[in-house]
Amino acid sequence: MDEVKKRKTASVHVRRAVAYAVLVFLTLLCLIWFYILIINATRSHSELSKGFTPIPSTHLIQNWVNLLHGTLPVFRGLANSLIVAGSNAVLCTYFSTMTAYAIHAYNFKLKKFMFTFILAVMMIPTQVTALGFIQLMTKMKLMDNLLPLILPSIAAPVTFFYMKQYMESVLPMSLIEAARMDGAGEFRTFNIIVVPLMKPAIAVQAIFTFVGSWNNYFTPALILHKDRVKTLPILIAQLRAADWLKFDMGQVYVMILFSILPVVIVYLFLSKYIVGGVTAGGVKE
């Protein structure tokens, strides 16, 4: 028996060592691209033309100064991206949670149909509706405006589906019925009871929505044409598309590094909810 226990213990240690080794390798594989980005941001255009080197250079501040003294409104683009991504994260998570609550807590004739219909909308690519979307925004005189990038986020089928699945695992109907018996209105029940229980899922989807909106290039490129309303992804593409006399790869890397810092900050603040939110959302009690 002791020999069997020793073998099992040794087997567990081996599996654990292999798991840690794989995790360390994957972590390094993910972080090495950030390291390359930081290294390239410290090099000049002429140094970047010679090829990659793992040793940082001394041109980070100069690249940043050249970027700020260029023609692109960097900080205005940052403000626009923060407004769009932040508004999307708030509106998407709140109204998707409210929609999931309506499907979860109420029984009505078209309940199954509505659930299926919302999931079917997930199958429609953004590119398919792009032309009609541009025509609609043109008729509504909302071109070169941030509203077309914010308001559609209210209807997010993917976020709704995740919230619905998470809600089934953490929100018993007895709790809702108890609140109703105590005289709480539906909006009060939702805001005071449901939303706090959904915090892990809301945080997870807020991160995903924020990052997705922050990196979105396709829709803003169709809507925004004036520099004062452009977001950072468009400004980065515009910087890369400069003619060869003005093109500076060092500025491009500094711009990219500058653009990912807010995403990293948001992730650090909300990352503690990711594991708990994803795990609980996949388990139905």
pLDDT of residue 171: 81
Q: Domain residue spans in the chain?
A: 2-60, 65-281
pLDDT at residue 79 is higher than 70: yes
Q: Given pLDDT bands bounded at 50, 70 and 90, which one contains residue 54?
A: confident
Region 124-142: mean pLDDT is 87
Q: What is the pLDDT of residue 274?
A: 65
Q: Please write the tens of the pLDDT for every residue from 139-150.
A: 999 899 999 999
Cα gap 239→195, rounded to integer Å: 42
Token digits of residue 43:
């090099």
**Mean pLDDT calculated for residue range 231-256:** 83
Q: How far apart are CA 268 and CA 21, in angstroms?
A: 24
Q: How many percent of the chain have pLDDT more than 70?
A: 91
Confidence of residue 25 (pLDDT cuts 50, 70, 90): very high
Percentage of the chain lying above the pLDDT 90 cut: 25
Higher pLDDT, 10 or 115: 115
Could you tell me the pLDDT band of residue 281, with boundaries at 50, 70 and 90? very low
Q: Which of 74, 72, 77 is nearest to 230 (CA)?
A: 77
pLDDT at 21: 93
Does 275 or 103 have the greater pLDDT score?
103
247-258 pLDDT, tens digit per residue, is 788 888 999 998
Q: What is the mean pLDDT of the chain?
A: 85
Distance CA 191, CA 44 (A): 52
Q: Is the pLDDT of residue 277 over 60?
A: no
pTM (predicted TM-score): 0.82
Domain 65-281 CATH assignment equals 1.10.3720.10: yes
More confident residue, 173 or 223: 223
